[in-house]
Amino acid sequence: MKLIKNICILLFAFMCYLSLPSQAVVVSANQLVEDALHYDGASIEYVGEVVGDIMARGEYVWLNVNDGSRAIGIWAEKKLVKNIEKTGSYNYIGDKVKVVGDFHRACPEHGGDLDIHAETISVIEEGHKIEHALNPTKIVVAIILLLAVLALIFLPRILKPSS
């Protein structure tokens, strides 16, 4: 009788363990694209830099997150992106975010696009401005070319004999 009781307790504990929500799988953009069928519908965790514009669509937004190899479209509620301050561009490195959500290989809601429907988005590193250094060689070449153009314009007028 004690053995049956222990087996029942063990089975109950095992069933409780199985009913726990599964953790999101950490993936890269390359993994999602190359093995899209495997991850389709799965809860995933994706980390990368927010690039381009955050585009509002009613109570939702589209944003692109690039992990260094590719960008993936993220569909999220507006409230999830309120902490994102900088997006990547020529002059800025965008905020680095962790997105947890459901991956869709061919989302029926968005015309068959590959996307992630975000459940949570958290900023893990703030973006910053990029300082572009001036190249002294390019400055010298630009000045020489400017002087050459000015010489071509004005020298013929100066050297032209008066009649």
CB 100 within 8 A of CB 22: no
Question: In whole angstroms, what is the distance from residue 81 CA to residue 63 CA?
Answer: 9
Give me the chain's average pLDDT, please: 90
pLDDT digits (tens, 9 = 90+) for 4-23: 877 878 777 766 555 444 57
DSSP-assigned beta bridge partners for residue 21: none
With respect to residue 161, please indicate whether it lies within any of the assigned structural domains.
no
With respect to residue 137, please indicate whether it lies within any of the assigned structural domains.
no
With respect to residue 141, please indicate whether it lies within any of the assigned structural domains.
no
Lowest mean pLDDT among 12-21, 27-36, 50-59, 64-73: 12-21
Question: In whole angstroms, what is the distance from residue 70 CA to residue 75 CA?
Answer: 16
Residue 160 clears pLDDT 90, i.e. is over it:
no
pLDDT digits (tens, 9 = 90+) for 69-106: 999 999 999 999 999 999 999 999 999 999 999 999 99
With respect to residue 2, please indicate whether it lies within any of the assigned structural domains.
no
Please tell me the total count of domains within the chain. 1
Q: What is the CATH number of the domain that holds 115?
A: 2.40.50.140
- What pTM, to 2 d.p., does this model score? 0.72
Q: Which range of residues forms the domain containing residue 33?
A: 24-129
With respect to residue 42, please indicate whether it lies within any of the assigned structural domains.
yes
